[in-house]
Amino acid sequence: MRILIYTGKGGVGKTSISAATAVRTARLGARTLIMSTDQAHSLGDCFDRKLGEDPVRIAENLDALEIDPAAESRRAWGNVRDYLKEIISGKANGGLAEDEVLLFPGFDELFSLLRILDAVQGGGYDVIIVDCAPTGETLSLLKYPESLSVISERLMPAVRSFNKAFGGLVSRATSVPKPRDEVLAEVDKLAGRLNELRLILQDRDICSMRIVTTPERIVLEEARRSFTWINEFDFGTDAVYVNRIYPEEAMKGYFEGWMEAQKESLTLIRESFPERKLFYLELQPAEIRGMESLEAAAGILYDQEDPREIFCREAAFSMEDDNGTRKLIIHLPYAVKEEIGAIQDKEDLILTVRNETRRLRLPDRVSRRSLSGWEFEDGKLVLLFDY
């Protein structure tokens, strides 16, 4: 199975590119499911078909759906929500709308990602293509499963033990209802499923992140930052799509300055994503909508290429030994040294790059050593571990 996740700044054409890719893989005989996780769905518009939360057959070998985040949220943590509503309703005396209080930012969208896991486990498809929300939102969601697995592995056993020993006493003393066993079990199950999904998404033989950009410098700079962030969280990027390239014949006269800027951006793109496959799509004379135009766009993008290929397997992490010092090397292209922070917390590494922080479990080969320092040069963060 292959999972292809398309991300990029809002408005760059992720939906058109992902839909054209789905059309191509289906034409190649692969049973393909394309799903949209963006609350502002436009996938149905792209296919010129009405879509819902259940798969709709678009063409031979091709199904599509638009995920309903609210419905996925109810399925994923209904018991936990009911327990929290019980607490709120008992304390609020009718002064708060429980459903509004329980709108945790990002949670509904996070649970939407579990549809990927359902599709993988269902086994009915060869290719799953995900048309994601804009970059920042998507990347924030992809880091949540790791955080929730930490809660499940470290915090929940303690909560369960405390609940067993003192839950009844606390409930009588405070009127806070004791968490039911099914509530705790649901938290465990949810964290376990999200962690299972994370492992699949980080498997470069299965999943590839693909960045969509345009040759505009502002958009390109966000794409470069996204590339850094994806590496920080060890997801594999194997391809970059450059959409809406202005044809040279359309840029003569008044727009010649734009043409020069576009040439500079295209050069920067070739330099910015080493080892990654680059796909190019010129601005089309008409809107890409419907199967005919999607097939035409797919023909331009891929020619003789198969989008199911894994175009790059470069790992974000590697390890070396140097005179007794063990080096953990993390590739962070386009990061700035002054924006990097790294500290060790027992067997974890807390890594900060700009405004994103990741807590990751150190590999066994360095987990029993102490972080003695770090260096950053040429896009590589080298963490030094000694006894």
- CB neighbour list of residue 118: distance below 8 Å, 6 or more residues apart: none
Q: b/e per residue, 207-239, with b = 16+ CB within 10 A?
A: bbbbbbbbbbeebbebbbbbbbbbbbbbbbbbb
**Which pLDDT score, from 0 to 100, does residue 108 have?**
62
In the CATH scheme, what is the code of domain 1-147+182-314?
A: 3.40.50.300
Q: How many angstroms separate the CA atoms of 242 and 281, rounded?
A: 6
Mean pLDDT by 10 residues, the chain (387 residues): 94 96 98 90 94 95 90 68 64 52 57 87 96 72 62 55 52 56 73 84 94 95 87 89 92 84 93 92 94 97 96 90 93 92 90 84 87 94 94
Q: What angle do CA 319, 325, 331 make, to 5 degrees?
A: 30
Q: How many angstroms separate the CA atoms of 75 and 30, rounded?
A: 29
- CB neighbour list of residue 98: distance below 8 Å, 6 or more residues apart: 84, 85, 88, 89, 92
Q: How many angstroms separate the CA atoms of 287 and 244, rounded?
A: 11
Q: How many angstroms separate the CA atoms of 222 and 265, rounded?
A: 13
**Which pLDDT score, from 0 to 100, does residue 41 have?**
85
Q: How many angstroms separate the CA atoms of 46 and 169, rounded?
A: 57
Between the CA of residue 162 and those of 119, 168, 178, what are the distances in Å? 37, 10, 11
Whether 132 contacts 6, CB under 8 Å: yes
294: closest CA among 305, 309, 278, 281?
281
The domain locations on the chain are 1-147+182-314, 317-386
Q: How many angstroms separate the CA atoms of 180 and 177, rounded?
A: 9
Whether 64 contacts 35, CB under 8 Å: yes
Fold held by 317-386: Immunoglobulin-like (2.60.40)
Whether 278 contacts 269, CB under 8 Å: yes
**Which pLDDT score, from 0 to 100, does residue 97 have?**
55
